[in-house]
Amino acid sequence: MPHHSIVRDSATPAFTLDLMQSLLRHVYVENHRRTNTPARFAPSKHPFDDDNDDDLMDFPDTPEDVPTLPSYQTTAADNLGPEEIAEWQSRGIDPYATAADGTNRLQQPKLPLTRLIFAARFAAIFNTPEMARSLVSPQAVTLLSIPDDAERELFFEMFPDILEQTAQALDEAGIHLHGIAVAELPNVQAASSHRGRKEFNDKVDRLIAKGNNVIVVARTRDDLPRSGQLLCTRTATLPPVTGDMVIEILRQTHSITGKLSDVAIRGRFPNDAAFQELPMPLVKSAFAEQTTLEVADRLLALTRRLGTGKVARGPSLDAIYLPPQAQQDMKHLLSDLGQWQAGNLPWSEVTSSVLLYGPPGTGKTLLAQALAGSAGIPLIATSYGICQKAGHQGDFLRTLSESVENAIACAPCVFFIDELDSFSKRSVSHRNSGYVAAIVNALLEHLTKLNDTAGVIVLGATNLPENVDPAIIRPGRFDRHTALENPNRAGIKRICEIELGASAQDLDLATVADRLLGMSGAQVAAVVRDARGNARHSNTTLCNQHLHAAVDHVAPEGRQEDLHRIAIHEAGHAVVAHILGLPLPDMVRITARGGAYLGKIPFAATKKNVCDQIAVTLGGRAAEAVLLGSVSNGAESDLEQATEIAFKARYSWGLYPNNLLSLSSVKLTHLDPLAPLGSVVNSDIRGHYLRAKEIVEDNVKLVERVAAALLEQREIDGDALAEVLAAHNITNSDRPTEALIG
């Protein structure tokens, strides 16, 4: 294929652009010759009779009979200076597309826009020469995915000619296509009938049996008969129209020289996401304009009427709060996407699937919207609930399949699937096991297909990752797992600043952040909206009074004695962990609604590690008992966690001698302290509690100092906690602790 001296500022790989340019030239020239000399250049015919071998297409080895058009080597721009070129462009005239003698385009009775657009989209499938050669791998079956029935039928009418012209364009690049057989899935109504499906399957099977290379134009891989699925070496989705495609079409339809004012055109173009929202009749209507620049201006005007244009709708990553790690993950993903779009990074090197997990209200859906907004690409969203609303199992699967096909057709895009924890584990037996297995299996197939589709970023969201079937969230389906936890103090302040805008600098956000600790990002944003409402209803400017009143609705000031008890409780956890040499928590915080001790459980569950972990878990209750003389219900979740760990240590993990029996965790719900099983577990927990209590008794002053720091700061990270602990003399117990391990 010829390499033209043109400016390229494109996300499309160079090989693809060269192939697209050559293919469009063949399509345009042949149409020109047909419309001007119909007797000599009649349309080629490709009968597809099921009773003969005419399905097999033969392509010429060399393009000897390819017609040519007049060639204009000198452009008007060659005789103009930079200021004159800019002046022409300001008047909507493209001096590069205009010949030196003023000729700017060949006249045709009718532009073959539909054929040119389909040809450009087909060429965009081939990013490398290897992808083109894959069409002629021995007995290869290639699936060309076009989910929409009407579009698939229209494309297939033109496909034989387009495929022949593609062969001619590839021949110029030294890639030789020989016989290729083609088959098309009929529309939904015909395909759903037994006769229509049988005729399609029989045709594909017959072509395969003859040893042909076959291209099947269908919706998804599931449409292929069994033989086609086994031999299918590649699935390609006909991509949507992009700015690069429009420029290459303009090079044929509106340039007599084969050159364009590339930079000026791209400066006037809408983005690719806007192109995808623009109905095809409107895209075609823009080509009625006389010059390349006028076409670009018309397209931009049309997209602005739809509310699109240069700026993608929705928030951007810069406009929302994300925890540092999540922010870094998304920035890296955006960078890799840009590198792929520029042709500098293969899609296989992009970590394009991310599982977002964390409590409700932490911004998982908002993150998906912001990622799509920052990338300027569409967001295709679905959820378990949306699919379930469609009806019975068949409707569920159809709705899920349609959303996946839509994402593939819109690539590049973000595909977001929420409520992944509803796709529960297939290993758990219950009355709906068959239903769950079918739903999960379908999702697994779709995730594999999405991960194999270049340009599709897959985001999944769940509040409870431990409830999701493990096959769904393994690498290969979700390569990266990103936590979205409730924001810390700095995060709460940042959310308030984003929500309040310029007025944030005049408000006391530090106090607000202290009182809202432990709340989700969505709850914090709701507080700010409530404050704005208070100000609006009182017809005054937003001030601290409005903000504090909104905070009072959701986080009333707690009693000092309650905050003191909570601080003692959380300090007990920290001091026991420190004395036992366990890693300190990532964060400790106290609020009027309770405390939080956020740490990581050691990976290696040895007997000593497990016993130490249980002691730390019970350290809060022990601190209340020792320093306050009583315990509260604040230890309820601690006791639940300690019971589960103690049960698993003895009856699941085999950590105790002479007991290799593994019992289901369901037994936990039936534990009775008076029964033998419950009595043993209760005895283990009591031993660990007494151990934690002894540690607290030996370090009362240290517990008080950590509690005082918590009362003052409300939130302490692991590094700051280490400084508090290291700043004081610690008197360790002389009693041996190993003997206390049951």
Positions marked catalytic: 570
| Whole-number CA gyration radius for the chain | 33
User: Of the candidates 53, 95, 49, which has an alpha carbon nearest to the alpha carbon of residue 74?
Assistant: 95
Tokens matching residue 411: 């690539």
- Angle 496-500-503 (CA atoms, 0-180°, nearest 5)? 120
DSSP assignments along 30-68, one per residue = HHHHHHH-TTTSPPP-----TTSSTTEE---SS-TT---
| β-sheet bridge partners, residue 462 | 357
d(CA 202, CA 596): 64
DSSP assignments along 433-500, one per residue = HHHHHHHHHHHHHHHHHHHTSTTEEEEEEES-GGGB-TTTSSTTT--EEEE-PPP-HHHHHHHHHHHH
Tokens matching residue 378: 């569409």
Sheet holding 180-184, edge to edge: 56-57, 180-184, 213-218, 141-145, 232-237
Biggest CA pair distance of the chain = 107
Is there a contact between 512 and 492 (Cβ–Cβ < 8 Å)?
yes
DSSP assignments along 183-231, one per residue = EE---HHHHHSHHHHHHHHHHHHHHHHTT-EEEEEESSGGGS-HHHHHH
Sheet holding 587-591, edge to edge: 594-598, 587-591, 715-717
Distance of CA 265 to CAs 93, 96, 261, 741, Å?
Answer: 11, 11, 6, 75
Q: Which residue has the tokens 């999944």?
A: 460
User: Of the candidates 336, 249, 324, 326, which has an alpha carbon nearest to the alpha carbon of residue 292?
Assistant: 249
d(CA 269, CA 267): 6
Burial class (CB in 10 A: 0-12, 13-18, 19+), 443: buried
d(CA 211, CA 48): 17
User: Of the candidates 368, 356, 367, 374, which has an alpha carbon nearest to the alpha carbon of residue 322?
Assistant: 367
Is there a contact between 187 and 115 (Cβ–Cβ < 8 Å)?
no
d(CA 669, CA 18): 67
Burial class (CB in 10 A: 0-12, 13-18, 19+), 286: buried
Q: How many helices (H) and strands (E) does the chain have?
A: 29, 13
